[in-house]
Structure 1
Amino acid sequence: MLERKAYQRLVEWKNTSRGKTALMVEGARRVGKSTLVSQFGKQEYRSCLFIDFFQATEEVRQYFRDYRTDLDTLFLYLSTYYGVELYERDTLVVFDEVQMFPEARGLIKYLVADGRFDYIETGSLLSIRQNIQDIVIPSEEESMDLNPMDFEEFLWAMGQRQLADLIRRQFAASRPLPDGLHRRAMGLLREYMLVGGMPDPVSIYVEQRKFASVDASKRRILELYRNDVARFARGYEFKVASVLDGIPGQLSKHEKRFSLSSLGKSARMRDYEESFFWLADARIANLCFACADPSVGLSLSMEQTSLKCYMADTGLLVSLAFADSAATDENVYRAVLRGDIGLNEGMLTENIVAQMLRANGHKLFFYTQSGQKGNEERMEIDFLIIRPYADAAMKPRVSPVEVKSPRQYGTTSLDRFGAKFGKRVGVQYVIHPKQMDVKDGRVYLPLYMAFCL
């Protein structure tokens, strides 16, 4: 069983909620929701009643319809059907993939009020129309996102916990790692880029250290996503698939904003907006929106018509980029790992930083200025995040983040951004392949330290 940070968040929910709320764990298919919640139920409760609504029979579903106002009978039948003894205040009831049976989600209000057991729901695509139709979203429901494993969790899985702890300590102290450990961390980060953070590919890699079988696992996940598109994105499935397939090509460009003209000369955002929302709601993609006037409230000047679209998992992005062949040979992965063949480094590094920022709870924003109006200067900032700023008594400020894949680069956009927005700007970050450094109020972080932001 892979160790996940989210497990501790489940423990905290149990201890603070004490049965007063249910917890909804949202995440992409195959991100490990069911495994995590099942393990939590078995280890933290006397018993766990686990109902998978992807596989639940019509008989089980009918129990919920027939006995929604007779909870004694409902629990009696469910306990007998699944062969699980239920203990008041010491049983966890799990509604797995609850989007497949929204009526169960609609009962949460009454189940929580009943107070006998604790409840966790898991799901994806929870906001699309057919999954909230005819139900009232319960106010007693807390939510928690489960993202792909981040780089720190990958290091744990690879038996590198001491290295992970050292990276955090060195980040906090603004000190670089020794050169040998820096090279080791960069090598492991490249492995993480190729494997990704979906639990099944990570488990295979930890056991076998072979990329071909990892790639086969990732392709199965991508095929599952395509099947979900066909099944759930009815009426606009072609547009969703077009956007998904276009992600590697868009991220391979210097200008990484998603260009709808690549999907067709007459393509407009109003026609594709629902497709981007679908991919984000399914947790397949991470959307990054332009921010027109950066301030502590980045969402206040968000431009929804100008966006970048990243894959939620960089390992899946790699397999999607190789989708023109039925399988990717082990030697191809090894060559990419060594840097011998030109899979776009900028695409991978920017996507992995987006993935790390999302894992830490940041919404994704970027800033751009075309340089075509009057005397304005051109600039593009990859990401904007909000962080406390020591020079402003730890008040929050906008931190611009630039991601650099080559070892030689310029920072003109950061210089112009700082000059334009002045006191709004906090620490400026450059995330690059080289060692950590701090110069003139600007922090240069090696790529593997991005999970600390």
Structure 2
Amino acid sequence: MYLKRKADAYLNAWKSDPNRSPLIIKGPRQVGKTETIDYFAAHNYRSVVKINFVEEPKYRAITADGYGADTIVRNISLIDPAKKFIPGDTLIFFDEIQAHPDIVTALKFFKIDGKYDVICSGSMLGISYKQIESNSVGYKTDYEMRSLDFEEFLWARGYDEAVIESMFTHLCDATPFSEVEMNVFSTAFMDYCVLGGMPAVVASHIRTGTFEGTLQLQRQLILDYQEDIRKYAQGLDQARILNVFNHIPVQLAKENKKFQISKVASGARFKDYRGCVEWLETSGMVNICRCMSYPELPLKGNYDENKFKIYFGDTGLFVAMLDDEASDDLRANRNLGVYKGAMYESIVSEALRKSGYDLYYYKKEDSTLEQDFFVRTREWLVPVEVKSKKGTAKSMRTLIASDSYPEIQFGVKLSAGNIGSSEHVFTAPYFTTFLLRRLLRAYDEGQAPMLNNPER
């Protein structure tokens, strides 16, 4: 069962570019990289030469004589003469390149040679890059792939582009969803919260129409991730990385969701764990939300590096790390319990990150003023509030009303409720978060009336 991915459109556009460079698809384990590339290759090339450096370690020798394209092609043919190289109609797919990162050095020469298309993929690429002697800067293209977002989940459920466009029109026009739409999309979104976006988990759910076996799949993925830490975290304290990873659910459940290194282990100090947090972020396992020094533009660089929250890269992994009682309650009764706020924050952080946003929050010292997330338009800084229950978004309204924050003119509140707008706060259901970046682009282009003229 193949699940349609946004990467499909990217790969087709890449293939259509006459000046395309070798492509590296990066991302954490089990997000669907190999399956997506296999599907694309089968539909676009007469010959596909696939080499998996983990399953076929003998191919690691193909760079022993140098990195030239002809040299590597010759060595591949020597190992397996059945592999066919048709100039102009062959894709060479180097998979699991974390097991042989030197192959990336050859991409420059494949680009110059131009006879074959090349795609590389593998887990933990952000870490593996540090092992590469020369990573062909200027001669390759990088694409980051993550687990399914809610739009892709809806595709898997059988909803087409027309449904997505209808959702987007509701947002642009500030037209509330009907009762049927709210029920259907809210239920689907809750299913997505429980399942997460890992393709194997979603595919199992789609095949059976139930949640049977999905928790076991999620927990196996957690074990695989922990094994990756032990396998690839070279030069760092693996026990510390595992401690940070395993403490994420506990710290998210607290009222103050700022990740506290001191709670990870007795006597733990931030300077000893900085590399561990960076390693987890680079691997794609987690998303880091950084505390802004002050809520103003630009976002990049405007943060306190010692203050941050940690969310999972896929909320399904969060669910898998809950205790059995909480997990069973969530699946059977949709009861998020103590994790309710954390669960919604996590799913929103995931949606924003998958939309291409970096994550930022703000907590004013010696004050109750705290804002969950920030995004931006071309001109304005936009606070985003996540409400797990009915509330007035007091901090966001303070930011909007105060002359101390001139770049904040309006905000977005995400909740279980319908679309609405009041006092420069636009309210939208959680399930529309994946459309937020597109909505703000529409605002910049004057095509989102509900956000026009935001000045106080």
TM over 0.5: yes
Aligned partners of 1:176, 1:381: CA distance in 2, in Å?
Answer: 25
**Equivalent position of 1:107 in the other structure:** 106
**Conserved? CA contact 2:196–2:202, under 8 Å:** yes
**Equivalent position of 1:284 in the other structure:** 285
Secondary structure of the structure 2 residue equivalent to 1:212: coil
Deviation, 1:103, is 1.3
Quick one: structure 1 residues 72 and 316, their matched pair in 2 at CA, closer, same or farther if it must change by over 3 Å? same
**Selected match of 2:399 from 417, 425, 440:** 417
Quick one: structure 1 residues 249 and 84, their matched pair in 2 at CA, closer, same or farther if it must change by over 3 Å? same
Q: How many residues align?
A: 430
Quick one: structure 1 residues 331 and 307, their matched pair in 2 at CA, closer, same or farther if it must change by over 3 Å? closer
**Conserved? CA contact 1:211–1:330, under 8 Å:** no
Quick one: structure 1 residues 382 and 127, their matched pair in 2 at CA, closer, same or farther if it must change by over 3 Å? same
**Equivalent position of 2:298 in the other structure:** 297
Quick one: structure 1 residues 8 and 366, their matched pair in 2 at CA, closer, same or farther if it must change by over 3 Å? same
**Conserved? CA contact 1:49–1:82, under 8 Å:** no
Matched to 1:253, the amino acid is: K
**Conserved? CA contact 1:212–1:329, under 8 Å:** no
Deviation, 1:427, is 3.1
Q: Mean Cα displacement is larger for which, 429-438 or 230-239?
A: 230-239
Deviations 1:406-445 (A, max 9, x none): 1x21321012222154431143011001111011221001
Aligned partners of 1:412, 1:82: CA distance in 2, in Å?
Answer: 68
Aligned partners of 2:263, 2:328: CA distance in 1, in Å?
Answer: 31
**Equivalent position of 2:22 in the other structure:** 22
Quick one: structure 1 residues 86 and 292, their matched pair in 2 at CA, closer, same or farther if it must change by over 3 Å? same
Quick one: structure 1 residues 380 and 243, their matched pair in 2 at CA, closer, same or farther if it must change by over 3 Å? same
Aligned partners of 2:34, 2:100: CA distance in 1, in Å?
Answer: 16
**Equivalent position of 1:137 in the other structure:** 135
Secondary structure of the structure 2 residue equivalent to 1:54: coil
Matches within 5 A, 1:28-43: 28-43=28-43
Aligned partners of 2:274, 2:326: CA distance in 1, in Å?
Answer: 36
Quick one: structure 1 residues 288 and 331, their matched pair in 2 at CA, closer, same or farther if it must change by over 3 Å? closer
Aligned partners of 1:10, 1:270: CA distance in 2, in Å?
Answer: 41
**Equivalent position of 1:351 in the other structure:** 346
**Equivalent position of 2:373 in the other structure:** 383
**Equivalent position of 1:220 in the other structure:** 220
Secondary structure of the structure 1 residue equivalent to 2:56: coil
Aligned partners of 1:330, 1:233: CA distance in 2, in Å?
Answer: 29
Deviation, 1:335, is 2.6
Deviation, 1:62, is 1.3
State yes or no: 1:253 paired with 2:254: yes
Deviation, 1:298, is 0.5
**Conserved? CA contact 2:65–2:71, under 8 Å:** no
Structure 1 outlier segments of 4+, above 6 Å: none
Matches within 5 A, 1:31-430: 31-58=31-58, 60-69=59-68, 71-79=69-77, 81=80, 83-128=82-127, 131-133=129-131, 135-139=133-137, 140-161=139-160, 162-234=162-234, 235-322=236-323, 332-337=329-334, 339=335, 342=337, 344-370=339-365, 372=366, 377-387=367-377, 395-406=378-389, 408-418=390-400, 419-430=402-413
Deviations 1:136-192 (A, max 9, x none): 121112111111101011011112335433222211222111012101111111000
Quick one: structure 1 residues 300 and 17, their matched pair in 2 at CA, closer, same or farther if it must change by over 3 Å? farther
Aligned partners of 2:72, 2:322: CA distance in 1, in Å?
Answer: 48
Matched to 1:396, the amino acid is: E
Aligned partners of 1:125, 1:111: CA distance in 2, in Å?
Answer: 23
Q: Mean Cα displacement is larger for which, 159-168 or 263-272?
A: 159-168
Aligned partners of 2:108, 2:308: CA distance in 1, in Å?
Answer: 37
**TM-score scaled to structure 2, two decimals?**
0.89
Secondary structure of the structure 2 residue equivalent to 1:107: helix
Secondary structure of the structure 2 residue equivalent to 1:344: helix
Aligned partners of 2:82, 2:326: CA distance in 1, in Å?
Answer: 46
**Conserved? CA contact 1:156–1:164, under 8 Å:** no
**Equivalent position of 1:390 in the other structure:** none
**For structure 1, which runs of at least 5 residues remain unmatched after alignment?**
388-394
**Conserved? CA contact 2:67–2:106, under 8 Å:** yes
**For structure 2, which runs of at least 5 residues remain unmatched after alignment?**
437-456
Aligned partners of 2:82, 2:421: CA distance in 1, in Å?
Answer: 60
Deviations 1:359-413 (A, max 9, x none): 110000111102x2xxxx43110001112xxxxxxx421100010011x213210
Two-structure CA RMSD over aligned residues (Å)? 2.0
Matched to 1:63, the amino acid is: I
Secondary structure of the structure 2 residue equivalent to 1:347: helix
Aligned partners of 2:347, 2:18: CA distance in 1, in Å?
Answer: 34
**Selected match of 1:442 from 422, 425, 439:** 425
Matched to 2:256, the amino acid is: E
**Conserved? CA contact 1:95–1:120, under 8 Å:** yes
Matched to 1:12, the amino acid is: A
Quick one: structure 1 residues 276 and 2, their matched pair in 2 at CA, closer, same or farther if it must change by over 3 Å? same
Deviation, 1:126, is 2.4
**Conserved? CA contact 1:198–1:313, under 8 Å:** yes
Deviations 1:33-83 (A, max 9, x none): 01111111111222221111121222x2112212534x4353144246173
Aligned partners of 1:82, 1:275: CA distance in 2, in Å?
Answer: 44
Matches within 5 A, 1:5-16: 5-16=6-17
**Conserved? CA contact 2:87–2:115, under 8 Å:** yes
Deviation, 1:254, is 1.5
**Conserved? CA contact 1:64–1:104, under 8 Å:** yes
Matched to 2:420, the amino acid is: D
Quick one: structure 1 residues 174 and 421, their matched pair in 2 at CA, closer, same or farther if it must change by over 3 Å? farther
Secondary structure of the structure 2 residue equivalent to 1:423: coil
Aligned partners of 2:18, 2:248: CA distance in 1, in Å?
Answer: 40
**TM-score scaled to structure 1, two decimals?**
0.90
**Conserved? CA contact 1:96–1:121, under 8 Å:** yes
Q: Mean Cα displacement is larger for which, 421-430 or 253-262?
A: 421-430
